[in-house]
Structure 1
């Protein structure tokens, strides 16, 4: 049992303003494994005030990028040494299989932190340009206080997408983790203290949605970065638009994996284990629509059913488990509701279904639907669980049409024996990223979505630019 009774505010542990608590429940045992205080609006006010002081009066934004990178380098080194501890903690909180957690819940967040730490040395913080009326200095300055709101599915990864570039830029941060996964942020806070991060640069208050809304609307917050549902993103975007507050929104997805006629089926199906079922299917960029050519449809269906039906479902802390439980009972019920809906819509279950793999824990059987039309709700709405929809297509143009026929535009992939042609097809897909014979999120490159999948980009130099204001300083030409 991990118990905390304070928040990380102002460089230390601050007593909460309220008396509420958040219980963290194991998705595997359904037992309480942790407890933290529940943040209130007053706690958010205290955290924002600390971040505001640190930005307006503290050393952090006044350091050189190299000085900030030195401190962040110490944090990155601590993170690298203790990745296993972080992976095990996130697995306990939200049910991610340990094999995935070691990579996706701890190694990748540390890589993102190290990427931005290194980028500080090569990024163009200031440049000289020849204007039409004389020379101009163009400089990049930190936006200010950032409100970072992160979800429960990949809590460290989504936090680091915001935290690392914001800190390199010189911003200060108030982070609000999800009530389902607050424990990992306490471990990170301990590491930040050890690394010597100045007081108030990062503040952490676990809380629910209503308190998160207070953070979004707070007048002393200069930018909001949110990862979560499209519905919540619309509300956050509306508030930020009203206040002319900077905002980055990384929202939902319903990504399509196009299997071309010439694809090697064995390697393609193996690739879907990660691309489509990462983190028990609880991933915004998961490739959950599988588009198969009608000429190979039965072959793809049989291979996909064999792979998905053969996955080991069980205790996420067991390294041999490939699929763990969903994060909460409500998520289990939501996903099972979509399985019923798919049957009602006329789709055919070719593996999986409503028989739960275990009596205890929030497990759902990995499921593949065949005979899916792209107008069915199971093909259009984000299910956020281990449920795949297999959709036939007639030719390549039809595959592209189906892939693009979505309100979302986050990820996608093309599977083919000809990678160069795969790139040509990927260029036609209206999404923020589209892999060829794989799907990965690379720290060096921008990640984000078209359409209802969000606004702005995280990762890459573009992710750092999202936390900077550009200032032009013109001066007269020399006599």
Structure 2
């Protein structure tokens, strides 16, 4: 039985690609089937980019950078143009949320939270910062300038195609870099809506291209001599592949590579107060979020209580049609994610973990890539389920003996993207947070700030997105030494 309703798709240009600022005919007749993950039905057949189309996009970006005018505009002029772009995005938010639900299964409420909330906040903050950043400074004996690094390839994922525009694309544009936006192949609908909005903004030719491409074309672009910087969100194997393909030309890379994020619960934590934040931080969008709190590190003295509270929350989540506003969890975005989740849960069972809630496909949904939010107990940190990123709806509860043990467990991972600490005392939580090796640690909440620098350590990547640092990642530093030194510079720079 299916409970998913049909709806009109809010996008066109199925047979075209957006390259260099205009809709163009693809170089080949290859197509891609857009599958609704809630019904497993093909809802659109669209043109897919080839390596020839990739060359066209790189050539357009190359001309825009080498011949201008985009990199030569003042930061304020670029910010004005990017404001027009953001305005255009925001006029399409309802369409983008619907498209994301149709192509990736994100419930409408989740889309509004992420896109209308986080997406708008991150790109508006960036355009507000850009004009006043230290683009050129008098250092006394020399001028220090920040200049655009060149052409940028931004590799986006299906779990945040709109928010990542604010985290990667908008900062690169503000820095003066033309951008080839490489959406995931599962983001065909949102990519076309974003491209159509970008055309309305009237950016110079070549500054933006949108290529929702598969693996072959993506790898071709990553290795392209015409690309100066690659920024990517993905898994560790993808990050390693990117580094290998860019190393020969020493192209810059910014890597956000996911994690296995812990949440430490102090023994004095009030579960009634923190449970919504904790459970949503662990299971929102079925765990298809890079900072998902997939490891709950709970005091052994309160272990059963923590498991019971999480089980109660998970059991109350409504799973179904992502277009139904009463639904809290839709399907997984891709079939391989459900297969990966099923394998991880079965492996955990065999290793001795206990399925408390979930661990199966919902009985009332015969079609669609649905899987119940799953809570595992009796998990030790050496189990595969506690060490490997699943990117699916699996939460493991791991016991600890004292805070020293909790910190050891939290840090016993090859990742280091995000973490949370929950405690009755904010001061005590901060002390614990300072001891966790992670790019982001939240205290008595979950997630991260999208207006401050965000990124990982160890296998969670390198580089930072968001905030001033996220814009300046797309620049090179130039020193200009001037004869006459400070007195001359003061007279010319005021």
Which one of 143, 150, 155 corresponds to residue 137 of structure 1? 143
Does residue 196 of structure 2 align to residue 190 of structure 1? yes
Tell me which residue corresponds to 1:275.
281
Correspondent of 2:59 among 49, 58, 67: 49
Match of 1:361 in 2: 368
Contact residue 96 and residue 280 of structure 1 kept, 8 A: no
What is the TM-score when the length of structure 1 is the normalising length? 0.97
Q: Look up the match of 2:220.
A: 214
Q: Determine the C-alpha separation between the residues in 1 that align with 2:361 and 2:56.
A: 48
Alignment correspondent of 1:16:
26
Q: Does structure 1 retain, via aligned residues, the 8 Å contact 2:263–2:297? A: yes
Could you list the per-position Cα deviations for residues 181-218 of structure 1 after superposition, in whole angstroms to 9, with x for gaps in the alignment? 12111111111111111111001112111111110111
- Picking from 406, 419, 427, the partner of 2:426 is 419
Deviates more, 1:253-262 or 1:53-62: 53-62
1:83-116 CA-to-partner distances (Å, cap 9, x unmatched) read 2221121111101121111111443222222111
Gaps of 5+ in 1: none
Structure 1 contact 112–164 (Cα < 8 Å) conserved: no
2:71 to 45, 56, 61: 61
Please report how far the alpha carbon of residue 394 of structure 1 lies from its aligned counterpart in structure 2 after TM superposition.
Answer: 0.2
- Does structure 1 residue 460 correspond to structure 2 residue 467? yes
Which residue of the partner structure matches residue 253 of structure 2? 247
Shift of 1:418: 0.8
**1:94/1:152 contact within 8 Å kept:** yes
Displacement, 1:355? 4.1
Q: List per-residue Cα deviations over 1:299-342 (Å, max 9, x = no partner).
A: 10110111111111111111111111001222111111111111
Alpha-carbon distance between aligned partners in 1 of 2:114 and 2:50, rounded to the nearest angstrom? 31
- 1:335 corresponds in structure 2 to 341
* 2:99 is equivalent to residue 89 of structure 1: yes
- In the alignment, the residues of structure 1 paired with residue 32 and residue 443 of structure 2 have an alpha-carbon distance, to the nearest angstrom, of 42
Describe the shift of the 1:160–1:22 C-alpha distance in structure 2 as closer, same or farther (beyond 3 A).
Answer: farther
In the TM superposition, what is the alpha-carbon distance from 1:421 to its structure 2 partner?
Answer: 1.5
* 1:125 aligned partner: 135
Structure 2 match to 1:37: 47
Question: Which residue does 2:124 correspond to in 1?
Answer: 114
State the Cα RMSD in Å. 1.3
**In structure 1, C-alpha distance between the alignment counterparts of 2:117 and 2:18, rounded to whole Å:** 24
- 1:90 and 1:105 in contact (8 A); partners too: no
Q: Is the Cα contact below 8 Å between 2:19 and 2:206 reproduced in 1?
A: yes
Report if aligned partners of 2:130, 2:471 keep a CA contact under 8 Å in 1: no
Instruction: Give the corresponding residue for 1:397.
Output: 404
Give the equivalent residue in structure 2 for 1:231.
Answer: 237
Separation in 2 of the partners of 1:446 and 1:242?
Answer: 29
Equivalent-residue separation in structure 2 for 1:367 and 1:359 (angstroms): 18
Deviation at 1:79, TM superposition (A): 2.5
Equivalent residue, structure 2, for 1:437: 444
Is the Cα–Cα contact under 8 Å of residues 433 and 448 in structure 1 kept in the other structure? yes
CA contact (8 A) 1:83 1:107 kept: no
Partner of 2:307: 301
Partner of 1:177: 183
- Choose the corresponding residue for 1:350, options 335, 353, 356: 356
8 Å contact 2:361–2:370 — kept in the other structure? no
Q: Distance in 2 between matches of 1:56 and 1:232?
A: 29
Asked if the contact 2:418–2:447 (Cα under 8 Å) also holds between the matched residues in 1, the reply is no
In 2, are the aligned partners of 1:106 and 1:156 still within 8 Å (CA)? Answer: no
Does the 8 A contact of 2:295 with 2:398 survive in 1? yes
Distance in 2 between residues matched to 1:290 and 1:230, nearest whole Å: 22
Q: In 2, Cα distance between the equivalents of 1:192 and 1:82? A: 11
Q: Give aligned pairs, total.
A: 475
State which of 166, 171, 175 in structure 2 corresponds to 1:165: 171
Q: Which moved more, 1:350-359 or 1:61-70?
A: 350-359
Give the C-alpha shift of residue 160 in structure 1.
2.8
Measured in 2, the distance between the counterparts of 1:272 and 1:88 equals 27
Q: What SS does the aligned partner of 2:321 have?
A: coil
Is the 8 Å Cα contact of residues 155 and 177 (structure 1) preserved in structure 2?
yes
Instruction: State whether residues 140 and 469 of structure 1, in contact with CA within 8 Å, keep that contact through their aligned partners in structure 2.
Output: yes
